[in-house]
Amino acid sequence: MRFDNSSSVPLPKIGLGTARLGGRIIPNRLRDPEWMAAMLSALELGYSHFDTAELYALGYSEEIIGRAIQEFHANREKLFITTKAWLIHLDYRGLLQACENSLRRLGTDYIDLYLIHMPNRFIPLEETFRGLNQLVTDKKVRYLGVSNFNLTQLKEAIRLADSPLITNQIPYNPFERRYRRNGVIHFCQEQKILVTAYSPLRSHRFTTHEELASIAEKHQVTVQQIALSWLTSQPGIIAIPMSFDPIHQKQNLDSLNINLSQDELEKIEQFE
């Protein structure tokens, strides 16, 4: 596994996103064998960074991750678990309780990385970070981060955090570059804040883009693997593709072994 050492906390270049683990909106316990099999295959393949949120299947995603870690007898210290507080829980007391609930569902004593899932304009960031800073002090959380923050919000978060922000989690792939255009990615790279690319493979254009298909054919890999290779070749960028298929999980990890030429990287940079 390759790690990104751009920030103060080295993280795997590829982690596992779990936005639909356990169900789309409400828990779907009828598919428990499938959910558990997906998590166990990821652990077997060597995934160590798992990204979840209290919003995912109303916390059931966290519960499945916790059960899988226990069943696999994984060494907790070798895993890195990221979860997120939803925007309705960003007041001080709500945040402390949300964290306690996530800890219980995950079956762990601490969360490695705790994120604000998205900003809530009705709750001051000062209050939210009062809670986040307290969670770090109480050793319930090791590191802090944010998600879906624009440049102004990110700068304010840096000011309010008592410890360095580890990441800003944003949508990013060859066809989704809003946060490149608005300066967030460049700022994060300057400040040694990791960019965690979510939805790194979400675009209908992956199946229709001829240039991407040509590069994939040359390397005898999938277009999705080329997209992940392009992302993870960038300093300060990690990705959390979601897959419950062991074959695709392995392909996502194997994308780290693809060496794109400078010409290929530049061609992908030109995608619109």
Catalytic residues: 56
269 vs 84: CA distance, rounded Å: 31
Alpha helices in the chain (DSSP H): 32-45, 60-72, 92-106, 125-137, 151-160, 178-181, 184-191, 210-219, 223-232, 246-254, 262-269
For residue 162, count other CB atoms closer than 10 A to its CB: 12
End-to-end CA distance of the chain: 30
Q: What residues form DSSP beta bridges with 16?
A: 50
Rounded to the nearest 5 percent, the helix, strand and coil shares of the chain are 50, 15, 35
Q: State whether residue 165 is helix, strand or coil.
A: strand
Nearest to 151 by CA among 114, 196, 181, 120: 181
Torsion of CA 61, 62, 64, 67, to 10 degrees: 180
DSSP-derived pairing of the beta strands 11-12 and 3-4: antiparallel
